[in-house]
Chain A
Amino acid sequence: MLPVMSIPSATEQVPGPAIHVRGLEKSYKELRVLRGVDLDVARGSIFALLGSNGAGKTTVVRILSTLLKADAGTARVNGFDVATRAADVRESISLTGQFAAVDEILSGRENLVLIARLRHLGNPAAIADELLGRFSLTEAGARRVATYSGGMRRRLDIAMSLIGNPPVIFLDEPTTGLDPEARLEVWQAIRELVAGGTTVLLTTQHLDEAEQLADRIAILHEGRIIVNGTLDELKRLLPPAKVEYIEKQPTLQDVFLTLVGARTDREQR
């Protein structure tokens, strides 16, 4: 077991997959949101969980980040069971939710210092300054977050998630509501994270986001994972590309819509 004081960094890892989920079930009253979800996420990889609105992506993330209890099934994060070792799971993860979880009244720097203090790290001020620099927020660091643009807020949000180098990071729809430029900035930040050995579980409705970032992609539909594989594997699920004058590979979007059905047509606007 890890010593209680230390925050497990990306280098001191418990063996096995970073995230291991079997038979996860969750209902809200009559509504069965998750009906037996299985998935594994390898260390140091980006795993994208795709699904329509209400497919249960956020429910999976909330269970894995100890905010919600599952009705059935097991889930381990960084080797720790989310139900019985919640405190160890919280030491191992960071959650960036759908809405930027930043304090608007504090400055960007104060937000970072606060999180560093709550993670019980030494020298919070130095940590804050380093992250401000890394996320191009140094100039804005002293300003209240209320004055930030959407992209800056998201960058700050992700910077806050990196404090303490948690080995597993959950990003729940990290680019929802961002303009294309800000999305690219966030993508870049996520790529740098994984380059440093962090495991990322990402949920998204934007299929191009999964195509751009993910090592593996799973589609959550009606409470189950209906496919799980690399982008190439997913593309091979459809009949081979039609040969006309130009070979046109199906995009991930085609794969998704075929597997999920026509209902999602209007989701893609």
Chain B
Amino acid sequence: MNRHFPGDTAALLGRSLRHILRSPDTIITTAVMPIMFLLLFVYVLGGAIETGSGSYVNYLLPGILLITIASGISYTAYRLFLDLQGGIFERFQSMPIARSAVLWAHVLTSLFANLISLVIVVLVALAMGFRSGAGVLAWLEVAGILVLFTLTLTWVAVIPGLTAKSVDGASAFSYPLIFLPFISSAFVPTESMPGPVRAFAEHQPVTSIVNAIRDLFTGQPVGAGIWVAVGWCAGALVVAYLFAGVSYRRRIS
């Protein structure tokens, strides 16, 4: 590792964080859609959805948190794309800095912005009656899963950010990611779905992540499910990180 990496990343992180704090609308926009889903499903559709036990907002929140992250990371791709469009990226590349610091600053900024959005969504859910018996440890585990999920999707977002030809292209990739929780256990139990859909829903990563978070919130033993969730995230993280690295080297050489 380049010995300037920590200092350069910190300097560039300071820059990106200023961007976010000076246009907090991106954080609010990120939180608005998941909150709308929360309101829509809890107060309009939720009455007709049979989840077994407990309040629907308790059932729904884990999936909504993942949707929050999936919509938040499109801003990471967008910000990276804007840097590449302007001259500032080439200025950085022509300077004696650690090359990977440019990407890591964006990734850490994404983590920061998404965590704020998640806190806002959780606060809204609490106002809507969300309650959890989870202890400090369980909350930390939930936070850990969400951080891992954010890092994974952020590295996915870096790829279109580096390769997109237009602003729309840079953020359009997130739509399927936002849609994925709908075909999972996030909104309704998978048992209610027809065969092939159910098979997909039960074997895609969102379901295992949602179930793990839900178990942690309700104080259930999480069992092996959490390792499936972590495994999905870690595997996707490694793949996305490698592809992002390839895209980056292609871009700067």
Seen from chain A, the residues whose Cβ lies within 8 Å of a Cβ on chain B are 7, 65-67, 69, 87, 90-91, 93-95, 97-106, 110, 114-115, 117-120, 144, 160
Contact = CB atoms under 8 A, between A and B. Distances in A.
Contacts of B14: 114
B96 interface: yes
Given A120-B7, A160-B91, A106 B18 contact: yes
Nearest to A100: B87
B95 to A, nearest CB: 6
In the complex, the 7 A-B pairs of residues with the closest C-beta atoms, listed nearest first: A101-B87, A101-B91, A117-B11, A95-B94, A90-B96, A97-B87, A65-B94
Contacts of B11: 114, 117-118
A30 to B, nearest CB: 20
B86 A101 contact: yes
B78 to A, nearest CB: 14
B90 A118 contact: no
B93 interface: yes
Main secondary structure on chain B at its contact with chain A? helix
13 contacts: A7-B96, A67-B252, A69-B253, A90-B94, A95-B90, A95-B91, A97-B87, A98-B87, A117-B8, A117-B11, A118-B97, A119-B95, A144-B22
Nearest to A4: B3
B203 interface: no
B87 A119 contact: no
B15 A93 contact: no
A119 B96 contact: yes
A98 B87 CA distance: 8
Interface of B: 4, 7-8, 11-12, 14-15, 18-19, 22-23, 86-88, 90-97, 252-253
Contacts of A99: 86-87
A189 to B, nearest CB: 17
Nearest to A110: B18
Contact of B4 (A65, A93, A98, A120): A120
B94 A102 contact: no
A87 B15 contact: no
Contact of A67 (B7, B18, B93, B97): B93
Nearest to B15: A114
A67 B94 contact: yes
Contacts of A98: 87
Contacts of B253: 69
A118 B95 contact: yes
B147 to A, nearest CB: 26
A87 B96 contact: yes
Contacts of B94: 65-67, 90, 93-95
B90 to A, nearest CB: 6
Residue among B87, B93, B96 having the largest count of chain A Cβ atoms under 10 Å: B96
A66 B86 CA distance: 18
Contacts of A100: 87
Contacts of B95: 90, 94, 115, 118-119
A98 B252 CA distance: 18
Nearest to B4: A120
A238 B143 CA distance: 75
A120 B2 CA distance: 13
A95 B93 CA distance: 10
A97 B15 CA distance: 20
B79 to A, nearest CB: 10
A99 B12 CA distance: 20
A119 B11 CA distance: 10
B248 to A, nearest CB: 14
